[in-house]
Structure 1
Amino acid sequence: MSSIKTQHIICLLLFTLLAVSCGGSAEEGKDATDDFKPTYETSQPWVYWYWMYSTYSKEGITADLEAMKEAGIGGAFLMSIKGPATPPLTPQPTLQGSEAWWEMVHHAMKEADRLGLRLAMHACDGFAVAGGPWITPEKSMQKVVWTDTLIQGGAKVDVQLNQPESYEDYYRELAVFAFPVKAEWQQSSETLRPRVTNSFGDQSLEYLLDDADDQRFGTNDEAWIQYAFEKPFTCRSIRIKTSGNSYQAHRLKIAVSDDGEHFREVTRLTPPRHGWQDWDYDYTHSIPATTAKYFRFIYDKSGTEPGAEDLDAAKWKPSLKVKTIALSSRPTINQYEGKSGAVWRVSERADKEVLPSSECVPLDQLVDVSDQMDANGRLVWDAPDGEWKVMRFGYTSTGHTNYTGGGAKGLEVDKFNAEAVKFQFDQWFGEALRTAGPELAEKVLKIFHIDSWEAGSQNWSPVFREEFKKRRGYDMVSYLPVMAGVPLESAETSERLLYDLRRTISEVVMDNFFGTLQAEATKNDVKFSSENVAPTMVSDGMEHFKYIDYPSGEFWLNSPTHDKPNDMRDAISGGHIYGKQIIQAEAYTELRMDWDEYPGMLKALGDRNYALGINRFFYHVFVHNPWLDRKPGMTLDVIGLYFQRDQTWWKPGKAMVDYHQRVQYQLQKGHPVIDLAVFTGEDLPSRSVLPERLVPFLPGPAGKEKMAAEKARWANEDQPTRVIPKGVKHSANMADAADWTDPLRGYHYDSFNKDAFLTLAKVEDGKVVFGKGTSYSFLVFPGQRKMNPNARLMSVEVAEKLLQLVKEGATVLVGEEPRGTLGYQEDESRLAAVVQELWAGEQNASQQGGHPKTWQVGKGKVVQLPYQQATFEGIGLAPDVVAVDQNGKRNAGFAFAHRRSGTEDVYFLSNQQEETRRWDISFRVSGKRPVFYDAVLDREYPVSKWKEVDGRTVLPVQLPANGSLFVIFREDTAEKAVNEGDNWPTYSEVQPVSSPWEVAFDPDYRGPHAVLEMTTLEDWSSHANDSIKYYSGTAVYKTSFDWNKKDEGVFWLHLGEVANIASVKVNGKDCGIAWTFPYQVDISDALRNGQNELEIAVTNTWANRIIGDLKLPEAQRFTNTIADLERMEGREPLEAGLLGPVRILEQNK
């Protein structure tokens, strides 16, 4: 044991020297190249440092930063949130952007410099996205708007065209178009006013005909709503306005009747995939032209999906909430609101069955009459015979603001306009640089950050017309009616135009917003960090990461409705394909704090996300507390995690921070080892592919159990709900990230997008390598799925690149062959030729013994999906990791990550369950000696038992509850087997520690003044004394024991059950902190013969004190926080204290 400790001390000294030598340049490490070496600084966790409600103090800022330094935090993302509360929390609030506010920022920078901390700042006040009071409507995010007017032709028309909507009188013209319309297209429920009834028979629902009426119809029970017309009415489209989230309103079943008694079902509406910020636009559903007198909209819950990030409204308890159901005879492009880029939605393309060409406006009949309208909107035009619709198009601001800000709140900047983006950068981050001055900024202000995209989407800008022409080669203005849902020429033509629109929107956001910000960050010598654009801004959800130094996702604690598994995979896959070395995560965000959070609770969740591919956390959230005498003090209202200086366990919690730093150091080494890359598809918006969406295409690697579970989950019978956290009821069948820790049973996968595929992918030694990013053994092109409903469409350039890579030696797994292109001016014949060459061998491909249908193309091969075999060994690749229990079975709750550098293969293993578990683990490594590294204890030690079998290294591993371990293959060896004992320590009990205990609570935290004597350990929450029962804080247990064992050895103090974290001293010497299973510390070096003094400081959470305070009059309470504590009322106090049994154990090996 002594030799291991000596080695560890030497390693620590070398590690410290490395960190010191790197100094402030650590953040300037290069991207994923062989010369990147992680350091202590690059691997330290950071925090979100929120400054709330314009309430700050210099002494609070200093105290915050000193607490961060003490805890081992590397830096802070300084972000100001909201303006003054009502009433203000301080007599003189400090408004963001004011001179006094920037003085506070300067103080923070000076203190950070003094303490050796680094800071990041956001793009604006608040955390979403980039805006401020300096952004005028002209510089803001913008959208296309229009009005339409019916005119009768055959003579000169002189008519005033209504101006489309404007924001703060900002409106600019685009064009005016006229086209002939049929009389049968002009009817609607708004003009015909049908009688509206429902299955309950006790309500008048005529208000559903009028947008202006604020009433709504709502029910939790199955029901129907009926529109009865006086004469038969032909319906071609239905517009629905909901009240809040109502997934059910967009999946109504439609039945019609001619007599009101005999109904026939026509269709069921299909909701598009959509995100959480979905309220900017209504939904328009196109249906086959249907003529009837009675239209019945039937709400039934059968077939209800369980909800997801891309079907947000379906997460909640099924209910129908609707404000408007508007029927129209006008042909309309299905879900044009999303297809026009106005809002983040994904839906299938319209087809000629629903939208025949006869109901589309021929392009040769679309007349541009812009020059016939004067500046005041008066149209004078010699209109040809017939009835014409005149549409006046313009653009205005979307009105979105950086609404989470305060004193510097204003409009969101135009994401298409590079000059406006530069202006925004200068107004906020530029001011931060000027406030610091060059010398201080260089040392402290290291990261420029974009956080949550909460500003909706945009589909126009003063620069967009020229951007579109430059990128697509034609003028989108010539086809503007398609953006208003008017079908032009055919369903196919309309969809192609709209695809080109969305593609251009995505490209311009990438280049002119993110690309511009990258250039500004680089010019100012700071790194660029960003979270996700999806599911809010219409774009490729991963492409912006090519401009980002630190791609960032987010994961949530105990908040399944708000957890972001797709955000995580977007950032991780985006980081991998674009070669980023550090991939961050906003860690442990919590929808509702229960004040019961502690490090041991957090470990498995953090480890799961490390296994996914994250290698740096920034904890959410450290809120600036301006008061030194109020605890818990300032918070982000009820949102957590409460991770700040007044947390009860802040000081011992450093053990968790140290653990995270050590894990992150290991996981920043080299490159990730990922076996498969899955194509996201070309439709837009797009995201990375979630593991549950892969099951239909890779059922074999997913496994029979997972297939059966997914079938039941998707069936969602009876729509079960659950409540997590308290008060938040939602679908129980949502996919939980915890169920997908090893989705392909030993293989990891990434997603890749069109941009990286075209610009970076190449074949090296049979693998597909993405530039300086990750290499993959296989590419997977799955078929149709929820987020890619048009999967059988492929651009010529993607098809040609795919063929090229296969010919050069790539292996690809494919679904059905493409049947067409996506854009308006693509060459179908070129696609057909490529497809023919790539799929030509399918008919003659062999398929024997359950092997997939496979055929050769050039040096590579094509494999037909779905892939049914349990592993990919049949096509040349064994699993990276196989973990089986003592019965040879795989279990749930195992997670792993694999990194490879020039000298090491680093495997991270995680037990995701709260019980000790043992596996035999086989690694796809040979010829290297394995060692273990325990990041909790910061100890490396040899593997006692291992062997090589068929080119793999096999070794047994035992992990404690929620335990983790690194297996590192570093030294070459010719040995094929080693058997020197078990790979985990075993223990023998030497003696219990059962003497009476003296327990001292802290009177400053309302604990009793007198020292408590305990003859047996007991739960504080069961004590008769309220000052103990409701105590929150640290209590120090003291006792003594005799030690007479003279043999050298390794001895551990096992604490048994602890609620919630404990630090141990023996004879005055610190022996460590027990914060996670198995809750034991090494006391070998502190023991002495004879009497030994034992001191255990145990800290619980804030929950008990808050629960107790809520029983007291407000003036008598100890806790003081701005958070609403109502949800804690009536709860019983939680188990707390040292519960034992406490024992001394001797390690047997």
Structure 2
Amino acid sequence: MNKKKRYTVMALSALLVASTMAHNDEAKPWTFWYWMYGAVSKAGIHADLVGMKNVGLGGTYLMPIRGVSERPEYQGEAAQLSSKFWEMVDYSFQQADSLGLDMGIHICDGFALAGNPSILPAESMQKVVWTDTIVGGGKKIEGMQMWQPESYKDGKLQPAGSEGGYYQDIAAFAIRCKEKPQLFKPEKIEYTEAVSTAKGYYLAAKPASIIYSFHKPVTVRSMRVVPNGNNIQSQRLLVQASDDGINFRDIKQLVPPRQGWQNTMCDYTFSLPTTTARYFRFSWTPEGTEPGAEDLDAAKWKPLLKLENIILSNQPMINQYEGKTGAVWRIETDAAAKSETVAMADVLPLKLENGMVMGVMVNGNLMNKLPKGTWRLLRMGHTSTGQTNATAGTGKGLEVDKFSPAAVRKLFNSWYALFLNRPHSDVVKYLHIDSWECGSQNWGYQFAEEFKARRGYDLIPYLPIMAGVPMESASRNEQVLKDIRLTINDLVNEKFFKTFTDLAHEQDIEVSHESIAPTFPADGLQHYQYADNPMGEYWLNSPTHDKPNDMLDAVSGAHIYNKNIVQAEGFTEVRGVWNETPAMLKPMLDRNLALGMNKLFFHVTAHNPWMDRKPGMTLDGIGLFFQRDNTWYPEARGFVDYITLCQNYLQQGRPVVDIAVFTGEEIPSRSLTPDKLVPMLPGVFGAERVASEQKRMANVGIPMEESPVGVTHSANILDLKDWCNALHGYKYDSMNKDALLKWNFEYSPKGKLPGNQDYRILVVPQPANTLSAEVKAKIEELREEGIIIIDKPYQAKDFSQYGIEPDVVLPENMDYAHRCVLEATGRKDIYFLTNQEDKERQITATFRTRTSKIRQIVKLSLPAYGSAFVILSNKEDMQVISQTGHKLVEEEGAGFTENYPSVLAVADKWKVHFDDIRKDTTVTLPFDWSKSADEKMKYYSGHVTFTSSFEWGDSVPVSAEEKMEVPAEKTKTAPSNDGFIKIQLGKIGDVARVLVNGKQYGYAWTAPYEVYVPKRDLKNGSNEIQIVVANTWHNALQGAGEGKAPFKGIWTNAKYRTKSKALLPAGLLSTINIVY
């Protein structure tokens, strides 16, 4: 049944927000603070930090980026680790301390990820490398030199055969070959007219073929694809063979592995059915390309075939072994290929001394010569991956070995610990590990010993598998490769993340991590167990770079490992265009609050060392320009207060999530985006979603779009704005194997993780034959304890048949978050609701209560992209807290609304003052200064003050509009001094703050652009009203680019990109209403 009563409804005003939130500094958003190219000044530091304090931030992560020498024109003097740098650090700490701001420091110079000049090659990330030598058997091989594999020297990787670089042997092997290994060079290469080679590689935009012709038939068992750049299309070739060059037969359709954006470290090896032919054709068509996602990054871009080479071989190879060895983040999706490889006949260990083959070891016996036949001698070792913390300055160095606690401690002491020894370092409260951008490693400190201890057998005899050599059987190959990846996952968590956390906690410092996927081959959730505050990221107007999976990793990782705070690096833009406003940001902010974020970090505040150049320094045009010299930065206080309000409520209690989705036992792995769940929960998603998702994935015609300016990409990339409340009242988390096996029933018959997170349903998308015995046993245990197991497509529209009603029922294009707070007085349920449409809506929301037979209903009005909190408690009342901060009244039949029937007249004429050009004028509203004939006004960006007046008192003039709508007797009644007047600004460009009689009362930064003033503060008679409006930098930068700068000092290192030269509206764009 439904329960609808007349509720007491309360709301928090903007004034009350500040006092209510004062006790919870954790609720305040933070920002990233980048010092660029060593260009740092004390004046700029002071101005930056005062700006952060005034706008309402709680703190900042200080991160120096790039080096002085990279941009000498900026005349930077604070090179990282120099005395000038430490002088600036000391000053920033002192200033932050005096202002009450906290700080965090990244684990190394720059971001991405953990390098330092002190890290030696032997202490850096390692990879397995090898060389091949082909010999005939039946002869003595003792003392034969084998080429040294790839090595690292003088800051770069050296090709095989180079001497003097860093390299360490692991083992050597002699592999019997059934025939002499060959890489076949075609006698002739032909291609269709759609292919161009003008750029030195094969390039095609339309269906095309490349044909290899040989003088005589060759037998092929594998092929290697060398793409040009990060190119998905070169992995989608149809391989065909022919004996006559006319009639071709299909051999194999190549299937790309799932792959991330940092994917160019390795080529692609594909196993092929053994095929003998004179002609091989490689055909390509863009049709059938997926639209692209975070785990298929290269598919996001315009479908072009960009191919350096195709190399055919007669040797059997393990399909896509590069990803399986952990050398790069890839996941094979072509299951059939596992059975195509044929094991090599004999693999014998060799004895090596200083690169010399000293003899063959067979059953522990030294032999002087190999048995007759053709043998492939494999020398295998490891060297540095060569990865560095690329965005650093003078703190740049090799990336630390993620498997060596000693090397990690060295890195900590060589960078982070130095900050802790500075004056006022008590302001440093966080150690931050940014998003993983340093690729993979598949070897490192004591890797072989760790493998044996964890997996129970010796890896070294199977080492040729890491070179793609098949041994024993396909199933054994796959098991060894999986064990390698499991060991990599164990070590990066225990030796890297845990070590940093232990070091930080020793100093009473908290730790935040960003995502590890899709660049490092590990479980994308497991490392969050070592983070105090898991962190994701999301991007603004950047479909190719947005990170919905990163956010889901952080949210799920936090929930399954009992972490209350979910941080987010928010609003990064790949190309900022200086038209961004708080109103533009709000829908994306609210979506991520609904997703589970509850602590925003703006990305980014770039330090501007100059006081006379505006808007100033940026991260080379990347990021949201959330900094002191952005025109609307002072007015962003209203936006920040809103964020603080939301985060205060969303940090209380714990999240209510009904569904856990198992991520499987594959490594690498990460959380599942909602589109991945459609095949398992088609009934819950609904027929319309199933059909739209099939259409999106079919990607017929490969539709493209441009966003931002100059960036063309697939139009069908996953965008979470299209998946609001996707499960229609149910929330889900992704759960990895580690958390699944820890799921226990110590506290509740429902089942709880150690984090006390209730889940009532477990969805298992993986086929049963892919699950291990321990996972199967755990699932059966959960089933017996009453957890609903969904392991086949679920057709019902909800889970009510199991007694689990939707948590909340909402109209479409609405989303929500739900937190449950258990207090001494009982339970409190906090619901955050967000309207994701650009229009005002009257909505009805129905909420599940503790007894699912009774539901509570609330009707309320939400402005365009508006939001509200609904708080249910054990009592009979309900609180509804709106974004605009005013008291609502529930009217019979109308729900929660406002009652402001009377309208005050405002003087027609407004005095207008342009701050930065010192111009004054008088106007009537609406007034858009971008349409002014005066070019100084037309191109002006900055603050403009509008001044007028209105009457208040015993005889209030009434506007013509009110006379039409309000009964005559109403106009003769003296207004009460209780409550508020509401100043309705209507449409503005772009943000404003409102002052009455010289006192500021609030900010208008989003719809409905209203500010509330207490009636008790008004004077009897005339009251002055001032509206200070700020537009974006868009118009001034446009003018500067045309030689029409409105004032001096306009400069930025962010390239200005716009499709149109049209100026953006600026000013008060409608008449002002005052209602009471």
Give your verdict on TM over 0.5.
yes
What letter matches 1:1064 in structure 2?
V
1:868 to 788, 795, 798: 795
Return the offset for 1:800. Answer: 2.1
Structure 2: 5+ residue stretches without partners: 1-7, 154-164, 360-367, 879-888, 957-973
1:1143: how far off?
A: 1.1
Q: Is the CA contact (8 Å cut-off) linking 1:926 and 1:953 kept in structure 2?
A: no
Unaligned runs of 5+ in 1: 20-38, 206-213, 785-790, 815-864, 885-890, 928-948
1:454 Cα deviation from its structure 2 partner: 0.6
Paired residue for 2:478? 495
Cα distance in structure 2, aligned partners of 1:8 and 1:979? 17
Would the aligned equivalents of 1:897 and 1:909 in 2 still touch at CA under 8 Å? no
Q: Distance in 1 between matches of 2:81 and 2:197?
A: 52
Distance in structure 1 (CA, Å) of the matches to 2:306 and 2:446: 39
What TM-score do you get using the length of structure 2 for normalisation? 0.91
Q: Against the structure 1 CA distance between its residues 599 and 85, is the aligned structure 2 distance closer, same or farther, given a 3 Å change threshold?
A: farther
Q: Which residue of 1025, 1035, 1038 corresponds with 2:947?
A: 1038
Match of 2:429 among 435, 446, 452: 446
The residue aligned with 1:528 is 511
Aligned to 2:283: 298
Letter paired with 1:491: A
Structure-to-structure mapping, 1:765-804, within 5 angstroms: 765-783=748-766, 792-804=769-781
- Is the aligned partner of 1:661 residue 2:644? yes
- Residue 846 of structure 2 corresponds to 922
- Letter aligned with residue 1028 of structure 1: M
- Partner residue in 2 for 1:834: none
How do 1:612-623 residues align onto structure 2 when only pairs under 5 Å count?
612-623=595-606
Which residue type is aligned with residue 152 of structure 2? Y
1:735 and 1:1057 mapped to 2: Cα distance?
32
Shift of 1:598: 1.1
Classify 1:7/1:278 alpha carbon distance in 2 versus 1 (closer, same or farther; 3 Å). Answer: closer
- Pairs within 5 Å for 1:254-293: 254-293=239-278
Task: Classify 1:87/1:874 alpha carbon distance in 2 versus 1 (closer, same or farther; 3 Å).
Answer: closer
Deviations 1:441-493 (A, max 9, x none): 3x311000000111000000132111111111111111110011111111111
- Residue 422 in structure 1 maps to residue 409 in structure 2: yes
How far off its partner does 1:82 sit?
0.5
Q: Shift of residue 1010 of structure 1?
A: 3.3
Aligned position for 1:911: 835
Partner amino acid, structure 2, of 1:298: S
Structure 1 counterpart of 2:585:
602
- Residue among 613, 627, 630 paired with 1:647: 630
Give the match's secondary structure for 1:157. coil
**1:74-223 paired onto structure 2 within 5 Å:** 74-84=58-68, 86-91=70-75, 93-158=77-142, 159-168=144-153, 169-183=165-179, 186-190=181-185, 193-200=186-193, 215-223=200-208
SS at match of 2:741: helix
Cα 1:969/1:350, change in 2 over 3 Å: closer
**Corresponding position of 1:823:** none
Which of 1052, 1057, 1066 is the aligned partner of 2:987?
A: 1057
Residue 1087 of structure 1 and its aligned partner are, at CA, apart by: 3.4
Aligned position for 2:209: 224
Counterpart Cα distance in 2 of 1:98 and 1:352: 55
Rounded Cα–Cα distance in structure 2 between residues aligned with 1:984 and 1:721: 43
Which protein, 1 or 2, shows the higher relative CO under an 8 Å CA cutoff with sep ≥ 6?
Answer: 2
- Cα separation, 2, equivalents of 1:123 and 1:775: 34
Q: Tell me the distance in 1 between the aligned counterparts of 2:402 and 2:908.
A: 68
- C-alpha distance after superposition, 1:471-526 (max 9, x if no partner): 11111111110011111111111001000000000010000000111110111110
Q: What is the aligned residue count?
A: 1013
Counterpart-to-counterpart distance in 2, 1:768 and 1:989: 56
Q: Work out whether 1:901 is the aligned partner of 2:894.
A: no
1:725 and 1:8 mapped to 2: Cα distance? 37
| Aligned AA (2:255) | T
Partner of 2:896: 983
Classify 1:429/1:13 alpha carbon distance in 2 versus 1 (closer, same or farther; 3 Å).
closer
Cα 1:773–1:457, aligned 2, differ >3 Å: closer, same or farther?
Answer: farther
For residues 1011 and 395 of structure 2, the distance between their equivalents in structure 1, rounded to whole angstroms, comes to 50
Structure 1 residues 1021 and 203 mapped into 2: Cα distance closer, same or farther (>3 Å)?
closer
Report the Cα distance in structure 2 between the residues aligned to 1:202 and 1:781, rounded to whole angstroms.
45
Conserved 8 A contact 2:194-2:206? no
- Whether the 8 Å CA contact 2:224–2:310 is kept in 1: the answer is yes
Amino acid at match of 1:131: G
Q: Residue 879 of structure 1 is aligned with which of 778, 788, 806? A: 806
Q: Deviations over 1:890-910 (max 9, x none)?
A: x23434444433331100000
Distance in 2 of aligned mates of 1:198 and 1:12: 68
Equivalent in the alignment of 2:924: 1015
The answer for the alignment partner of 1:56 in structure 2 is 40
SS at match of 1:776: coil
Q: Does 1:952 align with 2:855?
A: yes
Partners of 2:905 and 2:950 within 8 A in 1: no
Contact residue 709 and residue 1059 of structure 2 kept, 8 A: no
Q: What's the counterpart of residue 1100 of structure 1? A: 1031
What displacement does 1:1116 show? 7.9
The 8 Å contact of residues 194 and 207 in structure 2, kept in 1 or not, is answered as no
Matches of 2:481 and 2:778, distance apart in 1: 24
Tell me which residue corresponds to 2:909: 996
Match of 2:674 in 1: 691
Using the alignment, how far apart are the partners of 1:634 and 1:578 within structure 2? 39
Following the alignment from structure 1 to structure 2, what is the Cα–Cα distance between the partners of residues 9 and 555?
27
Give distance in 2, aligned partners of 1:792 and 1:96. Answer: 54
Please tell me whether residue 962 in structure 1 is matched to residue 865 in structure 2. yes
Q: Is the aligned partner of 1:1029 residue 2:938? A: yes
Q: CA deviation at 1:77?
A: 0.3
In the TM superposition, what is the alpha-carbon distance from 1:1118 to its structure 2 partner?
A: 3.6
Tell me how far 1:792 sits from its aligned partner.
3.5
Classify 1:7/1:557 alpha carbon distance in 2 versus 1 (closer, same or farther; 3 Å). Answer: closer
The TM-score normalised by the length of structure 1 is 0.85
Deviations 1:727-753 (A, max 9, x none): 110000111110112110100000000
**Structure 2 counterpart of 1:704, from 657, 672, 687:** 687
Change (3 A) 1:958 1:324: same
CA distance in 1, matches of 2:604, 2:266: 33
Go from structure 1 to structure 2 and tell me whether the alpha carbon gap of 1:958 and 1:1116 turns closer, same or farther (over 3 Å shift).
closer
Alpha carbons 1:632, 1:1119 under 8 Å: kept: yes
* 1:810 aligned residue: 787
1:395 aligns with 2:372: no
Deviation at 1:1071, TM superposition (A): 2.2
Instruction: List per-residue Cα deviations over 1:570-611 (Å, max 9, x = no partner).
Output: 000000000001110001111111101111111111011000
Identify the residue that residue 1061 of structure 2 maps to in structure 1: 1131
2:1019 paired residue number:
1088
Q: Deviations over 1:708-733 (max 9, x none)?
A: 11011011010000011111100001
Asked whether the equivalents of residues 194 and 208 of structure 2 are also in contact (C-alpha less than 8 Å), the reply is: no
Question: In the alignment, is the contact (CA less than 8 A) between 1:1107 and 1:1129 conserved in 2?
Answer: no
Q: Which shows bigger deviation, 4-13 or 385-394?
A: 4-13
Distance between the aligned counterparts of 2:787 and 2:627, measured in 1? Answer: 50
Mapping of 1:494-513 within 5 angstroms? 494-513=477-496
Residue 234 (structure 1) shift: 2.0
Distance 1:345 1:201 in 2: 30
The secondary structure found in structure 1 opposite 2:140 is strand
The question of 1:460 aligning with 2:460 is answered no
Distance 1:628 1:761, change over 3 A: farther
Residue 1141 (structure 1) aligned with residue 1071 (structure 2): yes
Amino acid at match of 1:386: G
SS in 1 for 2:696: helix
